[in-house]
Structure 1
Amino acid sequence: MATFLISTTVSSSFSCCSTRKIVATINEPKIQVTKIHKPTRPNRSLVAKLDYLNNCTSATTTTHVKEDPYHSGSIKSITPNSMEIVKLHLIKKIVADRLEMHKNVGIQRDNWNHLLMTSVNMITLSAATLASVVAIGSSGAPFVAMKVSSTILYIAATGFLVVMNKIQPSQLAEEQRNAARLFKQLHGELKTKLYLGNPSENDVSEAMEKVLALDKAYPLPLLGSMLEKFPQTVEPAVWWPPMKQRYRKTEEGSKGNNGWDTKLEKGMKEIMKVLKKDMGEYLRLSKIVLNLNKILAVSGPLLTGLAALGSACLGSVNAPWPLMFGVIGGTLASVVNTLEHGGQVGMVFELYRTALGFFKLMEESIEHNIIEQDHDQRENGELFEIKVALQLGRSVSELRQFSDAVSSLDDENASEEFASKLF
């Protein structure tokens, strides 16, 4: 701050000379100068603490990261079941991919069935129409052209029918639908195991075995690994790995019954006996459908082949049989093709074969639990009873009444009712 003194003298003739001093003060702004500190390196322990917090927030449920906040290094420790969880996650992703593949392939093969059936019928009916026009009477180039065209169409229809009857597109589509359903079921089982936590190495190996068993039961490719569509003997579909039985004796006074009692075991044995009756009925139906499919698969190409022969002989043989073969054979071939592939006889056979596998799986599951001596190694009795009842389309009380009714009858007077109400 600076101060300036200004002196002025004012003279007046009518007064005494006087002198006045005016003092003016001017205030200037005060400037403060602060010290600029040089940047310093952060504390090493603070960086370690921040790293520790970041690692803790980004840690997953499978791997727990433990770090010393006061040291720059970090030590990662894996929980005992983390590797099994990672493996199950990997298998679950593969199962989801298999599910999508079978679903897409099933849609594709179902389209094959409809498109090929429609195309073959159109080809066959066109050939029959040309053969009938030729038979009406004409000569020259139009006669030869229509006769040759009819013959070529019949030969093409015969080739298409041979391929269709060999691969059975409707049965292929049903196989892929079953595979998609079973892979979806396996995917749900894996999700449940991961949700419950604490998986073991046995769970991982069991999941892998189930995936491989499904791949074997329902192959994706056609060439080389396609299932036999006309087997000599009918066998149930098997999409599960062999059940490993563990024979372990229960220690006295140390184990519970795990929901099992004598009545439940006896009831399950009676149900297992009735399941054999269900399997016998579906085995009989499977054989009937298989024989019908064999007859239709042979009849279609045979009729189109005879129609091609008749069409080729039109005008060359002075007899009625070329016309009969050329027109009536093609018409009957269209009917047979529609009945076989439009009625999806192959799909019906696959349905019965899958039902046989369903009953076989139930039978093995019941037997697996009953033979096991250690109750703790069995499935929980109450849950197993509910599962069996729902799989057979019954309530628990209905299942108990049914098993009691079967046990009260002799083998000769067995109940006429089947075990399952679903199939």
Structure 2
Amino acid sequence: EGENNTRQLFVYKVQNGRSSDLAKVLAIAFGQTNGSAHPEQLGLQDVEKSSPVIGSGPPTAANGASGGPADSGSAGAQSVPSSGGNGASSENGGDQTAVATDLTVGQLSVRITSDETNNAVLVYATPRDYAVVEEALRKLDVPPYQVMIEAAITEVTLTDQLQYGLQALYHNKYTSVGLTQSTTSATPIQNFPGFSALYAGKTISAALNTLEGLTKVKVISAPKVMVLNNQTASIEVGQEVPILTGTATSVLTSSAPVVNSVDYRDTGIILRVTPRVNSSGEVLLDMAQEVSAVVAGSSTTTINSPTISTRKIATSVAIQDGEVIALGGLISDNRNDVASGLPYLSRIPVLGPLLFGNINNNDTRTELVVLLQPTVVRNVDDGRAVTDELRQKLQGLRELLPTEGVP
């Protein structure tokens, strides 16, 4: 009984995630009782690893730590005796920092330290109190979900039957396409100034084939990225365009040079997605899609900066694992005037273009449509399945490519 009341140092080797994150969660879970305490009120502080983090507690017997579980290389705890002050020092030097937290809730009194160098959580407590902390650590230290996000950024040409955009596919006339208006299973959380629709098929390629049966579809980009749950994946393909933001010159000297301030703006195809997986399998996607380009011949002599054409989609949607959702509604009008006529005669001033020439006005309307499909990777088997699928696609692509001249 007396040994159970002796405070000891236990080392929990974190297998998934960061030890500092677990230490912060424990500080809130065990130290914050009224929901209004701040980290400094919980005793959360940065300390040097060579400082007496653990030894600041009451002295204990050196043999009082022999009852802790041994370190077997897997997730678990190792009991280390407190030796009066430098038990937290590391052979890596004292330039690293740890986070120490004194937690007292009822009869539970522990000190928690995050060792970021070894990715471990150090707990200074009695064996009985540590059992409570260890149970919480084991429940928190689980492999995080990963999400494979497949996207297709497309430009859909709007023909006569789709002159009002792809929203026309919602009507009964085009229900065979397979796009249905979003319900509770895929609902934009924010007010999205366009439309969102679910596709009844299982893959994005099937959705593209369906759209190509109605109109011309141009795939601008088709990225695929794996990202951890609650982390942001970013894909940028384009150029950095210099933009003049200001000019300055000295008023004291007439021959002083003009100094320009220039910023660089990312243009091209930019996609940022943050997935959040619920326990029910639903995936919340915070996404921002931008397609931008410099307008040809748009630089002005006054500011000498280009005009950038931008189309953006930013929203949050909830979708089931494996479903395909389409986001669109950004329509742009393009007009190209093509002059034709008889050689030489059509170039006669004033009368030539009228009598011997012709001007064709090509007006096209396109709609930016983003197709997204999240696939949750919960374990190693799911990860291998995704990897095998990518390997098979690459193998099929290799068979289609020409092999002449390739070693």
What TM-score, normalized by structure 1, do the two folds share? 0.17
RCO higher in structure (CA 8 A, sep ≥6): 1
**Higher helix share goes to which structure?**
1
What TM-score, normalized by structure 2, do the two folds share? 0.18
